Structure 1
Amino acid sequence: MSEQKEDLFKPVGEAAAEIEDENMADQGQANDGVKLTGAQDAMGHPVQEIESLCMNCGKNGTTRLLLTSIPYFREIIIMSFDCPHCGFKNCEIQPASQIQEKGSRYVLKVECREDFNRQVIKSETATCKFVELDIEIPAKRGQLTTVEGLLSEMIDDLSQDQDMRKSIDENLYKKIDDFIQKVKSYINCEPNTIPVTFVLDDPAGNSWIEYKPGEPQHKWSHTQYVRTDEQNVQVGIITRDQLEQRRQEQLKQLANRERNPSESVKVGSANPQFLSDATDIENFNNEVQTFRASCPSCTQECETHMKPVNIPHFKEVIIMSTVCDHCGYKSNEVKTGGAIPDKGRRITLYCDDAADLSRDILKSETCSMVIPELHLDIQEGTLGGRFTTLEGLLRQVYEELESRIFTQTSDSMDEATKARWVEFFAKLKEAIAGKVKFTVVMEDPLAGSYIQNVYAPDPDPNMTIEDYERTKEQNEDLGLSDIKVE
């Protein structure tokens, strides 16, 4: 990544120097039509001008370009256009880097007036949402702005046609005016208006909300996710025709398997490896290994720690942790090794003693967990891969639901809904304290999850383990239907 950035930006500086020399010879005009304005940013990146077509009047205007970098983020291109003939103006930003491997989702808790001044980079594929205001700004042109700037621009757009609305539909005019006043009250931080939850979601991964080192974890968070096929079409990785063609091929393959079930393939590997590197690492099983890589958030160099752990009577897993000192990005996950099993696994544990809460538990990314007595249902992918204790997992569930859902949306809930949430949290607290008995059911189609058997190697009287055949839908979701092993 760093080599790509140098290839992208270093030649620009060299080209700028060449253009500057040519400008001295021909009064500021280069052969390719690019001129230097003489202005530059704090890092010395020059502002360039180029003549371009105005899409409003069809005559030529001037586009100014600045290739610069945002601290704790990455390089961007800032563009502004001005037409002297019709007065049309426009400004936007474009990422100077490739589409990221995963999409990004930022959440900022706006708790004071200063938080409205946070810088925001919104790419042309990103959507913005203000949860308490029930506002969603759709994907459009890229912007370098602030949180307040996004709201102010929306107010300006709504206010433009208010005079016309007043003469045509006064009722609609009043509703929009009330909404504008409500948004302004939030910007001014009037009583009972903050905190506000601001969510920035970009499937291309090229958007960003300013991070301030050392602030509480609940205030700013960044998560990454795997794009869907529809989002890949949105960011331009594949076309709509390619997506439809892929779906048709998948339907044909599924139909062929249904007609010829004997052609099913065996999934797995006889020689699983945890490292692509075959070199011998000293004390690999006893020490925490550290390697440096690029941060997926700001692309700066950061450290990733890795430690293999052998879980008795189960298998070896790899615990990985990444912390970026530049932007505050944090990530931890657990990866299981070995071949993909032929069957899924369902583990049921009846917890009738507080000591059961101290059992080790490994929940993989593909595992779902249900506790009927607590009305708790955790779907696949939620919380990612975790190796902790049963108590630690329940505490994390409590903290995530309480801080990210209940606290942020409780003001908009009716009394009945709020009462159900309060009752749910009370039962969950009792379970964490070991005061109630409950049943944990973990279902993993890849059989990569585990609950400690305290009676090992003897069977646990309170735990049952069942292996089951995966459904066709599960194989499709896990990408196993298209795997061919010869």
Structure 2
Amino acid sequence: MTQQPEPIILELNPDQGCTEIESLCMNCRENGITRLLLTKIPYFREVIIMAFECPHCGFRNNEVQSASEISETGVHCTCQIKNSKDLSRQVLKAETATARIDELDFEIPAGAQRGVLTTIEGILTKAIEGLSQEQPVRKYMDENLYNKIQAIIDKLTIYRDAKEPFTFILDDPTGNSFLENLNAPAIDPQLEVRHYVRTKEQNEALGVVAAANPEVEKEEEEKKDNINIDVDEVMHFDATCPSCKAPCSTRMHLLNIPHFKEVVIMATTCDSCGYKSNEVKAGGAIAPKGKKITLKMTDEEDLSRDILKSETCALKIPEINLELTYGTLGGRFTTVEGLLDQIYDELDTKTPFTKGDSVTPERKHKFSDFLHKLDEVKEMKREFTLILDDPLSNSYLQNIYAPDPDPNMTIEEYERTFQQNEDFGINDMVVENYNEKGERINPVKNTEQKVEQKAE
């Protein structure tokens, strides 16, 4: 058996040493010392903490950079700031993230501020300091520009002092930024977190994919046209382990679920570190209506029911105030017990700012109490209600009485809202008004219908 290499990034430890390197001071042009610490923020992700100090002029600087992989999706956080407590929300802002205040039409673009672990108040303070630096010069050179920037500074100061409510938006295409939920693990009514698929341009800017090459794209399209997947075939393709970065294999298989539809199951296993993961993608067309499945869990046999939770499905257990929004956990094909185990592990190991020295005893006790209730649920020590809400009807919960109705299960179909159709890009889909050549007829018509639907 080959010996496993020691990890480069270690868990946060008070005895852990840091790396010191000599580097140039940008203030006095003498040499100072930069200290590097490669570590993991508990229950979040890997980071590189850098601190610079110059013994000649006393200049100091610090920075936080993400050392983890780029997430599959970007993250968009919208938070309503109403009081000083909201200003104390912790923010992990990556260098690729954009911060914005809607009411002021003020934006801190990606790269303008370095990666930092701070609060919303800290971000506002840093923005005020940055805008104020050249104000005396502007007042002398261009008084009109000075007055405009001073108006922004005054407004930011009002927001920082919690004298007026405002909307704070954090958008990061890498998915490596985070905005604290003060009500965790429950839903925060003032915080909306949305995960989205990056555009091709965003992937190219992040270096996830190479810049567009028409010849290469044409060859790839020709290869795709020649691929035929047999229903019983398990396809293998090379991948990279997200845990240790070693080469690994991913398997893909088409599966037809009885009384449901065809799905694609993908599983990744790493022989180097033992990492395992699986994901499910629903196939077929988008259903005309959404679907809500409610199951009353009464005994341990219900835990063995097969369940397919798609990436567009929200999950709720009202008895313990558990609510997972769309996109959480991705697609999963397992049993109810297996899904609850995954939810427990994710909350226990990957929920930021719920454990550690910086967490208040009240919040730590609240989160521990919630995990205890979730543990009772997954061991069926208490009855509960499981609710799956999927706007695209791509989720499935086994009916053990099939083809007869399940007395403990109710299935409701509903019309999607305009916002749900907008989030999934359905409003922009046009499948009508095409001629024989595949050209659109009256292309403006869909936009007009979209505006009319929103107005209604």
Q: TM-score, normalised by structure 2?
A: 0.48
